[in-house]
Amino acid sequence: MSQLRLPLGLPEARETEFLVGESNVRAVNQLERWATWPVMTALLVGPRKSGRSLLARIFAAKSGGRILDDADRMKEADVFHAWNQAQQERRPLLIVAEAAPPEWQIKLPDLRSRLAASPLLEIGAPDDVLLPQLVERAFERHLIHAKPDVIGWIAKRIERSHIAILRVADALELETGKRLSIPVVRATLETNGLLIETDDD
């Protein structure tokens, strides 16, 4: 497990750290090798709360590049012009969205062809190593104190998604006055419909 940080010249803050695991390391490596892209633009896609915007900001800070965040909600003409500008200026552009362009239903043929020529970098669902790390990070942000065995138990019994981790933290934040034991966690997650039972339960 490694971390990327925004090079801001400030004391290290957890909010500027991006956790790297199997589910996102390929995207990270492709961003580090942006000079080898066939064009000066790439697409970074990933689910909600996956850290895609943070990763994009880290990339821009290190490369001097530009970001189009939530590009699937922008006007197609604006994305088209930004793509062309990146090639003209030889300045890297990272287009960030939740899903790849085929799901955008792009109407401009020229934009479709340009995006098809751009490398696609994907952030996947959290892997087995990254998931408990993300649970721990979410708990820190919510000021929730839990022992490693409790975090490990949770990681094996919740939906494998970034948004599910945040929902779990939101639910358990109300229990911070109690000793956060496995029975307390189980009851809370069951009440909120966040628990996925496994064979060893």
79, pLDDT greater than 90: yes
DSSP class of residue 38? S
Which of 4-18, 116-130, 146-160 is predicted with the least confidence, judged by mean pLDDT? Answer: 4-18
Q: How confident is the model at residue 6 (pLDDT cuts 50, 70, 90)?
A: very low
Average pLDDT over every residue of 154-183: 90
Q: How far is CA 188 from CA 98, 136, 146, 191, 193, in A?
A: 30, 17, 14, 5, 9
The pLDDT of residue 152: 96
Please give the Cα distance from 68 to 46 (Å, whole number). Answer: 14
pLDDT tens digits, 105-147: 899 999 999 999 999 999 999 999 999 999 999 999 888 989 9
DSSP class of residue 155? H
What is this structure's pTM? Answer: 0.86
Going along the chain from its start, the domains and CATH numbers come out as 2-122 (3.40.50.300), 130-191 (1.10.8)
58, pLDDT greater than 90: yes
201, pLDDT greater than 60: no
The pLDDT of residue 174: 81
* Cβ contacts of 181 within 8 Å, gap of 6 or more: 150
DSSP 63-131: H--EEETTGGGS-HHHHHHHHHHHHHHT--EEEEESS-GGGT----HHHHHHHHTS-EEE--S--TTHH
35, pLDDT greater than 90: yes
Q: Which residue has the higher pLDDT, 102 or 66?
A: 66
85, pLDDT greater than 70: yes
29 burial level (CB within 10 Å; 0-12, 13-18, 19+): exposed
* Cβ contacts of 129 within 8 Å, gap of 6 or more: 1, 21, 22
82, pLDDT greater than 50: yes
13, pLDDT greater than 60: no
- Taking residue 171's Cβ as centre, other Cβ atoms within 10 Å add up to 17
Average pLDDT over every residue of 65-77: 96
* Cβ contacts of 163 within 8 Å, gap of 6 or more: 47, 48, 49
